[in-house]
Amino acid sequence: MMQLPHDPVVAIVGATGAVGREMLAILEERAFPARSLRLFASPRSAGMRIPFRGGSVVVESLDSGAAIEGIHLALFSAGKGISKEWGPRFREAGTLVVDNSSAFRADPACPLVVPEVNPHALEAVRSPAIIANPNCSTIIALVAVTPLHRALGVERMVAATYQAASGAGAAAMAELESQARAFAAGTPLDTTIFGRQYLFNVFSHNSAVGDDGSNEEERKLLTETRRMWESDAVRVAATCVRVPTLRAHAEAIHLEFARATSEGEIRALLAAAPGVRVVDDRAANRFPEPLDAAGGDDVLVGRIRMDQSVPGARGAALFVCGDQIRKGAALNAIQIAERFLPASSPTRASAPATGAAHAALTAR
């Protein structure tokens, strides 16, 4: 596995977007050891100054004349088209690229990684490469479900996702907020992004629907789960919708296991899982909520119960929430990058050790 320098030169591509700005904040929060930072965005944002570590960084234009040599790590969050064009250019210039778009998720040459799920996929990276962040709904689901899969063997997962505006970008978040103001003022609602009222509404995820009736978001949950779990046998069904929350996704997940289990065993597995926080207070009716997940790093898991529709005590149901901008995007990318820091780096040393868990998973 390749290593970054102790103090790499880091770039963020798409630095002025919601995820790019979150990446910047997380680099600062986690004291990522960057020697210097370069920020790239579209030409219209060039010259903007963005605060970082008590100073500021000037945004550069990502255009045909952009100088990208000497960058060790690039975090991309500028959309599929930019990633397709510029990701290979950065890699060829000697840069390790972690991409948050869908551009490389299906490319077998590009590892698809969630550090709590399949960090072993990074071990084969020996030289500058492109590593793909999975889809946000997949990340949030698998952080919660993978510990159960390792111990119990998930044979089937059925998920209904309730996805926030942030998944469609900063403009979608702004539109939802503007609709709330317009509704309160009794003025017409702006529907530019989704072509419909978002406030007080729920609708099918705004991705293309295929001939089989599934949208792209639903297909990603299947294909990405199979790829990261290294199994084509697991059955996955999903229904993905948009709900009028700002930045945290929620998912209702039903699981069917290979062997019998108990609620107590499931709770113990989740309580010990990295990146998971159990929120399950039946007496107070307190369970994961998007507002509680927003701004946090953990995936919240609650409504933990046996699924009585699955015979032989082999089924369970969960409700999970996770911040789409953080763990669903920016944080996951930076956690991947931390894996390439030298072992002596304080940031690298704090990463959870999951190699033994992978061994248990692949040995089944």
Catalytic pick among 136, 149, 240, 358: 136
- Say whether pLDDT at 364 is over 50: no
Q: Name the average pLDDT for the chain.
A: 95
Catalytic site residue from 72, 149, 205, 249: 249
136 among known catalytic residues? yes
Residue 56 predicted with pLDDT over 60: yes
The pLDDT of 172-179, averaged and rounded, is 98
- Is the pLDDT at 64 greater than 90? The verdict is no
The pLDDT tens digits for 297-346 are: 999 999 999 999 999 999 999 999 999 999 999 999 999 999 999 987 77
29-49 pLDDT tens trace: 999 999 999 999 999 999 999
Q: Are the beta carbons of 39 and 45 closer than 8 angstroms?
A: no
- What tokens appear for 298 in the block? 């953990």
Q: Quickly state the pLDDT bin for 159 (edges 50, 70, 90).
A: very high
Q: Which residues contact 186 (CB under 8 A, 6 or more apart)?
A: none
What's the pLDDT score for residue 131? Answer: 98
Q: Where are the alpha helices (DSSP H) in the chain?
A: 18-29, 80-92, 136-152, 170-185, 216-229, 263-271, 290-293, 331-338, 346-349, 355-363
Whether 240 is catalytic is no
For residues 347-352, average pLDDT: 62
Using the predicted structure, report yes or no on whether residue 113 has a pLDDT greater than 70.
yes
Q: Which residues contact 311 (CB under 8 A, 6 or more apart)?
A: none
d(CA 299, CA 286): 15
pLDDT (tens digit per residue) in 76-85: 999 999 999 9
Average pLDDT over residues 53-57: 96
Report helix, strand or coil for 7.
coil
Residue 142 has pLDDT above 60, yes or no: yes
Q: How confident is the model at residue 347 (pLDDT cuts 50, 70, 90)?
A: confident
Residue 359, pLDDT score: 47
Q: Is the dihedral of CA 213, 205, 162, 242 positive or negative?
A: negative
Give 194-252 pLDDT, tens digit per residue. Answer: 999 999 999 999 999 999 999 999 999 999 999 999 999 999 999 999 999 999 999 99
For the chain, list the domains and their CATH numbers.
9-134+329-352 (3.40.50.720), 138-323 (3.30.360.10)
CA–CA gap between residue 164 and residue 181 (Å, rounded): 18
Residue 328 CA to residue 133 CA, distance in Å, equals 9
Query: What confidence score (pLDDT) does residue 352 get?
Result: 54
